[in-house]
Amino acid sequence: MIKPVRPFPALLLERDSERVLVVADLHIGWEAALADKGVHVPSQTPKILDKMLQLIKSCKPTSMVFLGDVKHAIMKVAMGEWRDIPDFFETISKEVSKIQVIPGNHDGNLEPLLPKTVEILSSKGAVFWDVGVFHGHAWPTPEVLGCRNLVTAHVHPMVAFRDPMGFRITRQVWVKATCDSAKLAEALLKHMHIKVGTNLTSLLKQSFGVTLKSSSKFLIMPSFNEFLGGQTINKRKLGIKSRSRTFIGPVLRCGSIDIDNAEAYLLDGTFVGNVEQLRSLVKS
């Protein structure tokens, strides 16, 4: 079973007695980037940690997966990250014994900040039963092509609303779409410089032991850090090609995800419409 944990920006994967809690995009240390521009905001990590502990208490997970961008500074380690990230994970480790991190594009030099008990997985993602998870800044591992459910992050998806007076608000959302598995497989193999013949299914089976699904459910997670901005998924663009280039990450840009018909849900589970409908709520 795979389900969002309302009203948190978190996902719970369940099978038998196992409960895997997935969160993404904490961006601990983001305040330092503002300080460099002269805007001084106190560390919000205690608030993020408090929300995380509430989530753990509610879900009682047997393990946790952090789906990329634990830290904010991309390559370096900011001063606040040296303090906040170790304390954050030491506290979480007291509540959940098994913690894994799938690195995102902001997670350079993350390993020295983590307790030795925290396992760092491949940045290409991982497979949990029939769920493939990856951050989204890079191509996933071919093994995810055999999953019925794909979960990514990285985008920090949001929906914008504008009233007739011009007042504009944004809200974090979950994005639920369908994925053309064959098109994604072809794009991934091309990236790997593997020649695709007439029988894609056989190639994947022989090379990676993967049985290709005809289509997969594709879920984009909102960021756990509510103080961040994000990508407005209903921003209006003209032309199919320009729409696909609006999104960041190779999977979203390769044309395998049906974004126009993707459904958007607020954190409390409220369905607000599909992306094509929501584009009418904002100006280009």
- Map tokens 């695709």 to a residue: 196
Rounded to 10°, the helix 79-93/45-59 angle is 20
Integer Cα distance of 24 and 101 in angstroms: 10
Q: Are 225 and 267 in contact (CB under 8 A)?
A: no
Q: Which tokens is 145 given?
A: 């092509």
Q: Which tokens is 156 given?
A: 């920090």
Residue 26's closest CA among 204, 181, 228? 228
- pTM here is 0.90
Integer Cα distance of 126 and 274 in angstroms: 28
Give 34-76 pLDDT, tens digit per residue. 656 666 666 778 999 999 999 999 999 999 999 999 987 666 6
Q: Residue 17: count other Cβ atoms within 10 Å of its Cβ.
A: 6
pLDDT number for residue 267? 96
Q: Which residues of the chain have a pLDDT value below 70?
A: 30-42, 73-80, 236-246, 283-284
Integer Cα distance of 108 and 61 in angstroms: 27
Q: Which domains does the chain possess?
A: 1-121 (3.60.21.10), 132-284 (no CATH)
Q: Residue 227: count other Cβ atoms within 10 Å of its Cβ.
A: 13
Contacts of 270 (CB under 8 A, 6+ apart): none
Q: Spell out where the chain has E strands.
A: 2-4, 11-15, 18-23, 63-66, 98-101, 119-120, 126-128, 131-133, 149-152, 157-162, 168-180, 215-220, 231-232, 263-266, 271-274
pLDDT number for residue 214? 77
Give 211-229 pLDDT, tens digit per residue. 988 789 999 999 999 888 8
Residue 251's closest CA among 100, 128, 82, 134? 134
Q: Are 149 and 2 in contact (CB under 8 A)?
A: yes
Q: Residue 28: count other Cβ atoms within 10 Å of its Cβ.
A: 28
Integer Cα distance of 143 and 100 in angstroms: 18
